[in-house]
Each structure stands twice: as C-alpha cells, then as structure tokens.
Amino acid sequence: MAESRKLAAILAADVVGFSRLAGADEDRTLARLRTLRSDLIDPTVAVHGGRIVKRTGDGAIIEFRSVVDAVRCAIEIQSAMVERNFGLPEDRRIEFRVGIHLGDVVEESDGDLMGDGVNIAARLEGVAEPGDICLSEDAYRQVRARLDLAISDLGETTLKNIAEPMRIYSVHVGGAARPRPAAQAAVVPASPAHLEKPSIAVLAFNNMSGDAEQEYFSDGISEDIITDLSKLGELHVIARNSSFVYKASPVSIPEVARALGVRYVLEGSVRKAGNRVRVTAQLIDSIGGGHVWANRFDRDLSDIFAIQDELTQEIVAALKLKLIAPKTGGGTQRPPIDVEAYQLYLRAREQTWQHTKSNNAFALDLLQRAVQLSPCYAAAHAQIAFIHANGYIMGSSDDPDKSLEKALEIAARAIEMDPDEPQAHFALSVALTWSRDLDRALAEARCCVALSPNSPEGHLAMSQALKFSGDPAGALETLEAYMRLDPLYPEITLYFIAEARFALGEFATAVDVLKQRLDRNPNSETSYALLASSYGHLGRMDEAKAAWAQVFRIDPNFSIERRRRVLPFRNPEEFEIRVEGLRKAGIVE
C-alpha cells in the first residue's frame, strides 16, 4: 500500500461525557451532534482549510495546513459552543475537548493519517478541560507570536502511551486563562476578542436626505453593514428582519438590546445630496449605555463601498476582533460595481421584502437594469435567481417550471462570477432543493453559512434541505440557530417548525405551533391543511374537518395532487403521512 510521510498540524476533538448524554436521551443527542457537524463544525473546518481525516464516533481527526489555521478553527467552534450552550442545564450541554499538535504523520493511499502526530493530538485532547484547547509545545511555538491568545502553561505532563513527558499549554475560550491545581500556570491575560462571543444589532440608519424616496438607500447601507458583519464567525449578528422592526420609532437602546439578546447596538444616519454622501454611525454598549465608538464619513457617492468597508473595519476594531479575508483573498475588497447599478440593486432588494407578485416583478426589472450596467454583479444575479425560484415555490410564475430552470442557471452563473458571494450559494441551494437535488442543496447551504456564519437565509435553506432529505430533527436544530439570529422571525418560521414536529410524529406539538402561526396569519391554507392532518392523526375528527374547510375558504383551488408533485421529499412516504392523517379524519379516501 502506497504511503507518504509529512509534517502536519493535527486537531483531535471529541464530546465531553458523550456516553452520559446519549444514555439520557440518545435521539436528541445524536440529532444535535449531526446538526453541529452540518452547520458549525464542517463549514468552519472548510473555511480554515482543514480536511476531516476521519470521524471517531463522537469526535474527529482533522488535518490543517498550519497550526494557526487549526487554532483559529478550534477557537471559532469553541466560541460558538459557549453561545449555543447558554441557558441550557449542564446535563444537556454538548461541550468539546480539543488537542492540537504539529508532528510527523504517515498518509495512507486512502487519505488516512497515522503516526505520532495523530497519537499525540489525541492524547492532548484527552487531558483538555471541557471547552478548552490543549496545544503541544511544538504547536504553541507556531502561534505564540501570531495569535493573541489566553494561554495557560500547564507545564510538563505525562500523556498516556507517550514515552516522554511533554510541556503543554491550554487555551480557554469564554473567559480568562485558568490554571489547573496540578500545575500552577503562567497566565497570559485574555484579550476581549476571546471572551464570550460579542453580539450586535444594526438598526436601520435614519434617512437624513430630506427625500422620503431615498429611504431605500439608507436602509440598503444598513443592510450591507449587517451583511459584512455577518461574515465574521467571531460575532453574533442579528438579522435585518429583527433589527429593522425598530425603524422610524424612538427606541431605548437597553430595551432593544434586551429584546434582541445582544450587548452592542449600532445606529446611524445617511445623508445623500447630489453626488455626495455622509454616513454617521455610533456603536453603543447596552450595559451602561456608553459609546464604544463613533465616526462620520463624507465622500463622493462613488466611494460608498469604501465607506462601508471602513465602517465595518472600525466596528470590528472597536470590538477588538480580527477581520479574516475570504478564501479567495482580498479581505473585504469588493469587485468594481457601477454606483447606479448598486442603487438599482438596493431598490430591488427593498421591493422583494414586500413578498408580492407585483413587487417581485418590479424588482426583476430593476435588477435586469443593474446587471446591464454591471454584468458581473454577482449579488444582483443571485437576487434574480431567488425571485425566479420563489416564483416556482409559490406558484406565482406564469411558467413555474421555466422559472426553476432559470433560477438554477442564474444562481450557478452568480457563483462563477464570485464564489465568495453567500447569497449566490443561498439562491442555488433553494433552487436545488425544489429541483429535488437535495445533497447538492445541502452542500450549497453549508457553503453559504461557511462564508457568512450569521446568514439567516443560509440557515433557513439548510433547514429546508434537511427537512426534505428526511432529517426533521436536524432541521429543527438548524431552525433554532436561525431564530437566535432572527429573534423576531417571520411567522412562516412557525410553519417550518410545525412541519418538522409533524415529521417526527409529534402531532400535538405540531397543532400548538400551527395555532400560533394562524394567530399571526389566519390566511395560510397550507397551515390549515397540515393542522387538519395533525388532528386526524390525533383522532380529533371534528376539528380536522373544520380546519380542512378553512383550506378551501382561503384557496378554492387547493390540490393535494399538486402538493404531492411539488414538495421535494426524498422519501415520498413522508408526504403520504400527511394524506394518511386526512384519511383518518374521513376527509379523503
């Protein structure tokens, strides 16, 4: 068997107390672990250039090009777990231990790695505290001058089955470095970047232009700042849908922060006059209400992208984070986009938020004009693709099948133009899901989240692909992550939750969630249809028939056959469970 020897950075990780967690609730634990792998671990490893060599039950062995990449990846995952475990009882928390070593390994022909490099990383992981990262001395030397870390020197330690004692170091994520009783540590002070993950909401910037029609421009600037910040895995960024609720109304920053579950709030204003634009912004710490940072930018309109980049970098600097360049390089540098094309794109994006057929048609016209001016405007192409996909999903297109074909083609083209555009991967994921290409759909959604860890759209797309692939538990976990990003989530989210609960056989819970959805949107025929089936499975026949009657009150043309044909379940039997509930209620034969 062919093999090669090389030096590699190896990361070993596993779940603390996995047997105890699985013994208490095996299904929930396995579902959560699958979701963590799909929407956190695998995308984060990919972003940092890692290769998952093998999974070891509840853990993994991962190879990186450098120790710096391995440590950055581990810190991002451990920081995310601090947030995900917040508020959970200790007996339900999933926590990881991580060991990292730089050493000699042997690579087999099938890609597997063996040798001391792997063995030592695994032993380091075994002595790490929950939530910590243990480094060998060889690994520590690679990062001590390059990363600002909270480090504890644990001294010489004997590792199981390793002949000589090794000096090891511990990185504690989520607080200051902590010594262990067995080895009094020389502590390097923690930097704010490695304390608990900072969280931020960007409010809609005020339009100070004296022209109400310029509202789209100030909103667009705010939304683009959210988009830029969302690409940073070190931040928790609230979605536009939630932070824009407070638009044009007097707000108390501490109250907004409490409602959205964040510490920092960014507010500002935009004044556009002729070819000049002024953007002012201030970052407020909700604890005490103090100003962390404030600045004003006066530029030509043609420099609007530079303003956004500078503003984002200054916010990040104020929070003491580090901007990480996309894989293709270039940091936050943007491709050259015509300013008029950008303004058309902002107006179109505002129109699509209205979610109506006429608004989408108007948005398409604006976007077509935008891409004529800037043919390589990937974000505009991605928006066009999503509108076409939505036309198929909602059945609002004159030719739905043709719309889906266009969505696939245009989204793929957008990715060719800019592989680092998250919205392009989101649009392609949606189109692939409804084309029943669910494995590729899930891959594209994960890519979107890898590029933009705070992308609410990416999490929604992932949840849909998981649901239709037959993993409703994974879909629920992903929806929970989405709702943390968008705490004032739209009411359709409740329908997605109900679908997942229904697929898990939790019909009573599905009824409760559907009622919440119908309280907010009493004209959802799909909710009434699923409610009728849920009642049927529960033996509540009269209520099932009453709910079914509401379906046709709202949509006289509602068709089970069309739903069967359109919904892209990998296993058709999952749709038939819905029909079976209606049969039990005597609604269909």
Q: Two tokens at 234?
A: 């070190």
Mean pLDDT of the region 437-462:
94
The CA distance from 281 to 403, in Å, is 41
Task: Give the per-residue pLDDT at 146.
Answer: 65
Which carries the bigger pLDDT value, residue 7 or residue 383?
Answer: 383
Confidence (pLDDT) at 177: 35
**pLDDT at site 535:** 96
Over 50: is that where the pLDDT of 192 sits? no
Residue 57: phi, psi to the nearest 5?
Answer: 70, -100
pLDDT per position as a tens digit, 542-555: 999 999 999 999 88
Flag whether pLDDT at 60 surpasses 50. yes
**What is the chain's mean pLDDT, rounded?**
84
What per-residue string of b and e applies to 194-216 under the rule 16 or more CB within 10 Å gives b?
A: bbebbbbbbbbbbbbbeeeebbb
Residue bearing the bigger pLDDT, 467 or 39: 467
How many Å is the Cα radius of gyration of the chain? 26
Q: How far apart are the C-alpha atoms of 589 and 578, rounded to whole Å? A: 13
Residues spanned by the domain of 513: 491-589
pLDDT of amino acid 420? 92
DSSP3 helix / strand / coil % (the chain, rounded to 5): 55, 15, 30
Enter the DSSP assignment of 189: P
pLDDT of residue 388: 94
pLDDT for res 338: 85
Of the CA atoms within 13 Å of residue 28, those in its CB half-sphere come to: 9
Name 110's Cβ contacts closer than 8 Å, sequence gap at least 6.
Answer: none
Higher-confidence position of 477 and 324:
477
Question: Quick check: 375 pLDDT over 80?
Answer: yes
Maximum alpha-carbon separation in the chain: 77
Among 33-42, 290-299, 302-311, 568-577, top mean pLDDT goes to 568-577
Residue 177 lies in a domain: yes
Sign of the CA dihedral running 95, 99, 100, 106? negative
Please tell me the predicted confidence (pLDDT) of residue 451. 93
Q: How many domains does the chain have?
A: 4
At 529 the pLDDT is: 96
Is 361 found in the same domain as 311?
no
Q: Are strands 199-202 and 236-237 parallel, antiparallel or unpaired?
A: parallel
Hey, which residues does 50 pair with through a beta bridge? none
Same structural domain, 431 and 479: yes
For residues 505-520, average pLDDT: 92
22-49 pLDDT, tens per residue? Answer: 888 888 788 888 888 887 888 888 888 8
Q: By three-state DSSP, how is residue 117 classified?
A: helix
Report the range out of 125-134, 192-201, 502-511 with the highest average pLDDT: 502-511
Give the count of beta carbons closer than 10 Å to the beta carbon of residue 187: 15
For residue 129, is it within any domain? yes
Domain identity same for 145 and 164: yes
* Residue 85, pLDDT score: 72
Helix 541-554 and helix 525-537, axial crossing angle in degrees, nearest 10: 160
30 and 101: one domain?
yes
The pLDDT value recorded for residue 316 is 84
Confidence at residue 465, expressed as pLDDT on a 0 to 100 scale: 96
- With 60 as the cut, is the pLDDT of residue 185 above it? no
What are the pLDDT digits (tens) for 313-347?
A: 888 888 877 655 444 333 445 567 888 888 899 88
Mean pLDDT of the region 452-481: 94
Three-state SS at 298: strand
Task: Clarify whether residues 501 and 480 are in a common domain.
Answer: no
Verify that 442 and 529 share a domain, yes or no.
no
Residue 301 sits in a domain whose CATH number is 3.40.50.10610
Residue 250 predicted with pLDDT over 80: no
Does 327 fall in a domain? Answer: no
pLDDT for residue 288 = 67
Give me the pLDDT at residue 62, please: 94
In a domain? residue 97 = yes
178 pLDDT above the threshold of 60: no
Show contacts of 512-517: CB within 8 Å, 24+ apart.
517/491, 517/492
pLDDT for res 416: 95
Could you give the 3-state DSSP secondary structure of residue 149? coil
Render pLDDT for 193-231 as a digit per residue (tens, 0 to 9). Answer: 333 578 899 998 888 877 766 788 888 888 889 988 888
Instruction: Say which residue the tokens 């649009």 belong to.
Output: 427
Same-domain status, 84 and 98: yes
- Per-residue pLDDT band for 183 (boundaries 50, 70, 90) equals very low
The percent of residues in the chain predicted with pLDDT above 90, rounded, is 39
Residue 329 domain-assigned (yes or no):
no
Residues pairing with 153 in the sheet? 169
The more confidently predicted of residues 549 and 163 is 549
pLDDT-derived band at 406 (thresholds 50, 70, 90) equals very high
Alpha-carbon distances, residue 136 vs 143, 180, 411 (angstroms): 11, 16, 45
Asked if the structure places residue 325 within a domain, the reply is no
32/354: higher pLDDT? 32
pLDDT recorded at residue 430: 96
CA 109, 112, 118 angle in degrees (round to 5)? 135
Q: Domain check: are 428 and 371 in the same one?
A: yes
Q: For residue 121, give the nearest of 278, 213, 8, 211 by alpha carbon.
A: 8
Please report whether residue 148 resides in a domain. Answer: yes
pLDDT over 80 (residue 538): yes
Using a 10 angstrom Cβ sphere, with 0-12 exposed, 13-18 middle and 19 or more buried, the burial of residue 525 is: middle
Q: What is the pLDDT, as a whole number, of residue 355? A: 63
Instruction: Kindly state whether residues 272 and 395 are assigned to the same domain.
Output: no
Spatial separation of the C-alpha atoms in residues 62 and 70, rounded to whole Å: 9
**pLDDT, position 332:** 44
Same-domain pairing of 238 and 360: no
pLDDT score recorded for residue 307: 83
Query: What local confidence, expressed as pLDDT, does residue 88 receive?
Result: 65
Which of 286, 318, 350 finishes a domain?
Answer: 318
Three-state DSSP state, 504: coil
**What pLDDT score was predicted for residue 507?**
95
Which two tokens mark 196? 């608990």
Answer with the residue of higher pLDDT: 285 or 331.
Answer: 285
Q: Which of 485, 517, 548 is where one domain is finished? A: 485
Q: Which of 318, 348, 376 is the last residue of a domain?
A: 318
What CATH number has the domain bearing residue 60? 3.30.70.1230
Distance CA 97, CA 12 (A): 8
Give CA–CA dist 310/323, Å, rounded: 12
Percentage of the chain exceeding pLDDT 70: 89
Domain contains 95: yes
Q: What is the CATH number of the domain that holds 573?
A: 1.25.40.10
User: Could you tell me if 538 and 508 are in contact, meaning their C-beta atoms sit under 8 angstroms apart?
Assistant: yes
- Position 327 scores a pLDDT of 40
| Alpha carbon distance 447, 444 (integer Å) | 5
Q: What is the pLDDT of residue 369?
A: 93
Cβ-based neighbour number of residue 298 at 10 Å:
12
The band of 377, judged by pLDDT with boundaries at 50, 70 and 90, is very high
CB of 299 closer than 8 Å to CB of 288: no
Q: Assess contact for 56 and 75: CB atoms under 8 A.
A: no
Same domain for 433 and 383? Answer: yes
Mean pLDDT on 113-124: 88
**CA 136 – CA 12 distance, rounded (Å):** 12
Give yes or no: residues 457 and 577 share one domain.
no
Q: Report pLDDT for 180.
A: 34
Across 158-172, 173-187, 481-495, which has the greatest mean pLDDT? 481-495
Give the Cα separation of 21 and 37 in Å (integer): 17
| Region class of 17: left (phi > 0), else alpha (psi between -120 and 50), else beta | left
172 close to 75: Cβ distance less than 8 angstroms: no
Phi, psi of 64 (to 5 degrees): -125, 160
Q: Give the residue among 126, 165, 146 at the shortest CA–CA distance from 75.
A: 146
